[in-house]
Amino acid sequence: MPQPSLWPTSRLLSTAARLVEHSWNENLASIGVTHAGVIALDVLAAYGPMTQARLASLVKVQAQTMGKTLHRLQIHGHVSRQRDEQDRRSHVVTITDAGRTALERSRRIERDLLPGGDRSSDELRAQLVGIIASLGDARWQSAGMLPDDDDLSSAATS
């Protein structure tokens, strides 16, 4: 097998992402969250209560996947789910105080995970943001799940 220095950039990126996620999840287990849970908590902290479907859309995962993540978060007391008064078939998800504490602890874990902290290279970060924007938008737009700016604004005010 060729040395990583000879690998294509996409393989390097995929392998690095997988290793970072495994390490991060090992550290996050101590506070009862996973990588997926942190992302959900981060969105809830930023935009406020919302339906599970809306949260899944913003995080760019299927509603069923979000349901599993929320179940784990609810067991640990990081979120609460209540029936939506306007649509009794839906649940509104809210981050709890325990969830905010877990989110803050997860941010410290994330910051300390890599050498150089969470902003080790502005150039690398800019490239990663570009990759996420171009590949993520194309993937989720074709699935009809990409939120637009109006959706993000209304999520922030609801």
Q: Where are the domains of the chain?
A: 4-157
- Split at pLDDT 50, 70, 90, the class of 80 is very high
Radius of gyration (Cα) for the chain, nearest Å? 17
Which residues touch 152 (CB under 8 Å, ≥6 apart)?
Answer: 47, 58
**Averaged pLDDT score across all residues of the chain:** 84
What pLDDT score was predicted for residue 56?
A: 93
**Is 138's pLDDT higher than 90?**
no
**Is 84's pLDDT higher than 80?**
no
Which residues touch 130 (CB under 8 Å, ≥6 apart)?
Answer: none
What pLDDT score was predicted for residue 123?
A: 83
Token pair 């009794």: residue: 88
Of 21, 50, 14, the closest CA to residue 38 belongs to 21
Say what percent of the chain tops pLDDT 90: 43
What pLDDT score was predicted for residue 153?
A: 41
What pLDDT score was predicted for residue 143?
A: 56
Say what percent of the chain tops pLDDT 70: 84
Range 4-157 has CATH code 1.10.3720.10: no
- Split at pLDDT 50, 70, 90, the class of 48 is very high
Of 57, 41, 60, the closest CA to residue 49 belongs to 41
d(CA 70, CA 73): 5
Q: What is this structure's pTM?
A: 0.69
**Is 71's pLDDT higher than 90?**
yes
Determine the distance from the C-alpha atom of residue 61 to the mean position of all C-alpha atoms in its chain, rounded to a whole number: 9
What pLDDT score was predicted for residue 139?
A: 65
- What is the DSSP annotation of 58-94? HHTS-HHHHHHHHHHHHHTTSEEEEE-SS-TTSEEEE
